[in-house]
């Protein structure tokens, strides 16, 4: 049985061309499509995006401008519900406006009598007390809540959601499917030099004096003196991560005397293109959370550098720890870990294979629960 089409609105940090958040969207879209087909219902997503035309052309779905209230209202009014997520939407570190915006979208849907679903969100840090009561008020009326780590669930319960059912699930990107090699090579992603061990590097600006980037450069220089490698810089948030990558590349300079190579991937905007890039690596050094999640998805060994608790929380799910944080990173510790990991790639894969496969299965849970809810309402109504 396939029912009449049902539109569902998806709210998140979309259209900004941040590879991690775009990967979240792609993963949610894929999971909803797979689960709705299995349930025999026809779900048609409408994405709230800062760049609706780009989102439409990239994912083949409908999109409206996230800041145009009339368009948002109409999309929600015509829908069977609203999904908020995933990613770190409910935190007040980057801006005090973030939480009110995302809660406002959820509240608008609730005022209009639509079921609302929280999809694998990372909640916190939330330093302003007034936001605690706001989150509690909105989340109490949600039809389904899932978060991506235990810490987020505990924070919600500390806000007063003790009786609410909260699923703890992996980040949606753990369920992202890679493209076939032939599909990628026919597009814009360049070949990776497979004659050298490929180290994928995802960095961002964080410390004001950029000391963490300097420490990474020092560690890479030590490694290259011992063996030639291909350093592949992978910017996840355009254009700022390109600038951070270029800053490091300038410091590294000409490495040809060591037999090494440095390249920058600046055109893998689509999440599946970036996942393909990660697949070509023997090791990933990541500051960006989703660089580490991509690596786990592809069973690629990783070294995490923490600037936020979410890095530690994800690594803990794989029984891993960051090599250091941005404020106290030691280049000697990082270079030693790089050398160790390059020589133990297959062992790392074997040790973590079961954990990774389990996370991939669990990443489907939010889509399953949401589709089950919508399916029951559709059947009743028809």
- Specify the pLDDT at position 188: 44
Instruction: Check residue 356 and give its pLDDT.
Output: 94
- DSSP code of 191? P
Minimal CA–CA distance to 370: which of 120, 125, 128? 120
Percent over 90 (pLDDT), the chain: 77
* CATH assignment of 181-359, among 3.40.640.10, 3.30.70.60, 1.20.120.530, 3.40.50.2000: 3.40.50.2000
In whole angstroms, what is the distance from residue 218 CA to residue 330 CA? 9
Tell me the C-alpha distance between 369 and 355, whole Å. Answer: 22
pLDDT at res. 305: 98
The residues of the chain that CATH labels 3.40.50.2000 are 6-169+363-381, 181-359
- 318 SS3 class: coil
Positions of E strands within 74-159: 82-87, 116-121, 144-147
Q: What CATH number does domain 6-169+363-381 carry, 3.90.170.10, 3.40.50.2000, 3.40.190.10, 3.40.50.10140?
A: 3.40.50.2000
Pick the closest to residue 152 from 176, 174, 169 (CA basis): 169
CA dist list (Å): 62 to 43, 47, 269: 12, 6, 19
CA distance linking residue 123 with residue 145, whole number of Å: 11
Low-confidence ranges of the chain (pLDDT < 70): 1-3, 179-194, 378-382
Best CA proximity match to 29, nearest among 187, 181, 175: 175
């Amino acid at each position: 049985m396939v029912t009449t089409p049902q539109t569902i609105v998806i709210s998140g940090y979309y259209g900004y061309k941040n590879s991690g958040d775009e990967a979240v969207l792609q993963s949610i879209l894929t999971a909803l499509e797979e689960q709705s087909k299995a349930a025999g219902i026809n779900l048609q997503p409408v994405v709230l995006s800062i760049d609706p035309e780009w989102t439409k052309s990239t994912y083949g779905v409908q999109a409206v401008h996230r800041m145009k209230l009339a368009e948002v209202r109409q999309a929600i009014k015509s829908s069977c519900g609203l999904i908020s997520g995933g990613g770190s939407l409910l935190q007040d570190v980057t801006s005090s406006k973030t939480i009110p915006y995302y809660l406002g979208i959820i509240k608008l849907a609730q005022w209009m009598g639509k079921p609302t679903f929280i999809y694998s969100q990372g909640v916190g840090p939330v330093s302003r007390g007034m936001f605690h009561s706001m989150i509690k008020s909105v989340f109490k009326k949600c039809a389904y809540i899932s978060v991506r780590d235990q810490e987020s669930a505990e924070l919600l319960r500390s806000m007063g959601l003790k009786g609410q059912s909260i699923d703890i699930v992996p980040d949606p990107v753990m369920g992202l499917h890679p493209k076939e090699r032939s599909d990628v090579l026919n597009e814009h992603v360049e070949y990776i030099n497979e004659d050298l061990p490929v180290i994928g590097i995802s960095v961002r600006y964080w410390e004001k004096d950029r000391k963490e980037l300097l420490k990474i450069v020092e560690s890479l220089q030590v490694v290259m003196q011992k063996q030639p490698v291909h350093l592949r810089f992978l910017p996840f948030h355009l254009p700022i991560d390109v600038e951070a990558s270029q800053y490091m590349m300038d410091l590294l300079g000409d490495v040809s005397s060591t037999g090494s190579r440095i390249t920058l991937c600046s055109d893998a905007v689509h999440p599946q293109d970036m996942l393909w890039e990660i697949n070509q690596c023997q090791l990933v050094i990541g500051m960006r959370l989703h660089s580490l999640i991509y690596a786990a998805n592809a069973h690629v060994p990783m070294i995490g550098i923490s600037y936020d608790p979410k890095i530690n929380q994800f690594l803990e799910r794989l029984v891993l720890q960051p090599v250091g944080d941005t404020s106290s990173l030691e280049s000697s510790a990082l270079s030693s870990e790089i050398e160790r990991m390059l020589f133990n790639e297959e062992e790392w894969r074997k040790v973590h294979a079961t954990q990774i496969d389990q996370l991939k299965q669990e990443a489907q849970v939010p889509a399953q629960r949401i589709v089950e809810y919508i399916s029951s309402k559709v059947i009743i109504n028809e």
